[in-house]
Amino acid sequence: MKAAVLNAFGEPLAIQTLPDPTPGAGSVVVDVAAAGVTSYAANVFNGSRSYRLELPAAPGPGCIGRVREAGPDATQLKAGDWVFCEPTIRSRDEPSDTILQGWTYRTDAALPLHRLYHHGAYAEQMLAATENITRLGDIDPADAGRWCALSRLLVPYGGLLAGDLRAGETVLVSGATGGFGGAGVAVALAMGAAKVVASGRNERTLDDLVRRLGPRVRAVAMTGVEADDRRRILEAAAGRIDLVLDFLPREASAAQVQAAILAVGQGGRIVLMGGVRSDLALNYNVLMHREITLRGAWMYPRDAIPRMVRMVRAGLIDLAHFELTEFPMDQANAAVAHAAANAGPRQLTVLRPDRGATG
């Protein structure tokens, strides 16, 4: 099979021939149709993110594809089924040992998993763990790229499930102008939030969120002054905030985080999902008297995947909101550069290994 291979950090991806994978017990081989390219893929590939990834490898976390051959223990999957391949693989003897297939292994203990499921989705075929496969039902092959949005939507869905969002509640999404935050606004609406306060600094992107997602979204521009920003958030909410979903990135300051999370109301929940590195100064008395629950969340539970597929099928989430740009496999490096230059809540950059693997 042809694959876009990273041979060394800092080198471009090279189209090379790799051996075809073969399924065993517990695995499935998928013909990859479409694979998402994240905005920070360039930083993973140039080594600046210091991801644990043994090279050479065909990277690519997750895909949309069709079952080519299922292992002998699969009871339902059939050749030709359209599927979503989830990249998080958990060790069967210790579920906290995880890898993101084709992306990184999180601890040394997870290295055997990384070596077994070594290559990711930037390849014509991919070996996937059977339990990581979710059937989509019939889709138009032309829509395979758009279905890659599942990966974007599932991450905030995991946070909103962790925060126990209920219909009729008010949610604040902090970092709503980013890729995962913007998706979080759409998912919170789909789950029945009465209001979603969307905060960020980029006013154009905030306006676009309101225009696309409707009047339940209340956009609020952040200034960087903690007390002012908290006041603006509360004014936009015009009532109590039940749940805060924070997606601020590594570069954001503690004051930016605090402005948002401390706007939560009595009995509220705060879910931290971003990449912030600084320590927070939390007001003990406020947390105690308001009976606030603060938790982190990483990714999403497995049963979130078929639920999200059903939400899309039911029209609660409209994949047409994503602005899709697709690249054939032999333009993998152009795809990575495009994704880096076009980060944002609407943008979806997708590699199509089913097209143009000519190198």
Ligand X SMILES: NC(=O)c1ccc[n+]([C@@H]2O[C@H](COP(=O)([O-])OP(=O)(O)OC[C@H]3O[C@@H](n4cnc5c(N)ncnc54)[C@H](OP(=O)(O)O)[C@@H]3O)[C@@H](O)[C@H]2O)c1
Q: Which residues bind ligand X (CB under 6 A)?
A: 39, 155, 175, 177-181, 200-202, 205, 247-252, 256, 273-275, 297-299, 343
State the nearest-atom distance from the C-beta of 156 to ligand X, in Å: 9
Q: How far is the CB of 203 from ligand X (least distance, A)?
A: 8
Cβ-based nearer residue to ligand X, 21 or 178: 178
Return the number of the residue (37 or 64) whose C-beta is nearest ligand X.
Answer: 37
- Minimum CB–partner distance for residue 248 and ligand X (Å): 5
CB of 150 to ligand X, least distance (A): 14
Pairing state of beta strands 104-105 and 98-100? antiparallel
Q: How far is CA 23 from the centre of its chain?
A: 26
The Cα–Cα gap between 112 and 342 comes to: 35
Q: Name the nearest CA neighbour of 59 among 134, 129, 114.
A: 114
Per the CB < 8 A criterion, the answer to whether 124 and 63 are in contact is no
Q: Which burial class, exposed, middle or buried, applies to 93 when counting CB atoms under 10 A from its CB (0-12, 13-18, 19+)?
A: exposed
The distance of closest approach from Cβ of residue 21 to ligand X in the complex, given in angstroms and rounded to an integer, is 26
Secondary structure of residue 236 in the 3-state scheme? helix
Q: How far is the CB of 250 from ligand X (least distance, A)?
A: 5
For ligand X, give the closer residue by CB, 39 or 125.
39
Which CB, 139 or 210, lies closer to ligand X?
A: 210
Least distance to ligand X, CB of residue 308, Å: 14
CB of residue 183 to ligand X, shortest distance in Å: 8
- Return the number of the residue (180 or 322) whose C-beta is nearest ligand X: 180
**Cβ-based nearer residue to ligand X, 65 or 184:** 184
- Choose between 147 and 157: whose C-beta lies nearer to ligand X: 157
Cα 294 to Cα 160: distance, rounded to the nearest angstrom: 13
DSSP 8-class letter at 57: B
Tell me which residue of 108, 104, 275 sits closest to 179, measured CA to CA: 275
Q: Which of residues 271 and 329 has its CB atom nearest to ligand X in the complex?
A: 271
Q: Which is nearer to ligand X, 44 or 133 (CB)?
A: 44
The backbone torsions φ and ψ at residue 105, rounded to the nearest 5 degrees and listed phi first, read: -110, 140
Residue 159 C-beta: closest distance to ligand X, Å: 7
- Cα angle at 350 between 348 and 351, to 5 degrees? 170
Tell me how many degrees the CA angle 189-192-195 measures, rounded to the nearest 5: 60
DSSP assignment of 27-41, as one string? EEEEEEEEEEE-TTH
Inter-CA distances, 317 with 154, 157, 284, Å: 12, 12, 38
Encode 205-236: b = buried (16+ Cβ within 10 Å), e = exposed. Answer: bbebbbebbeebbbbbbbeeebeebbebbbeb
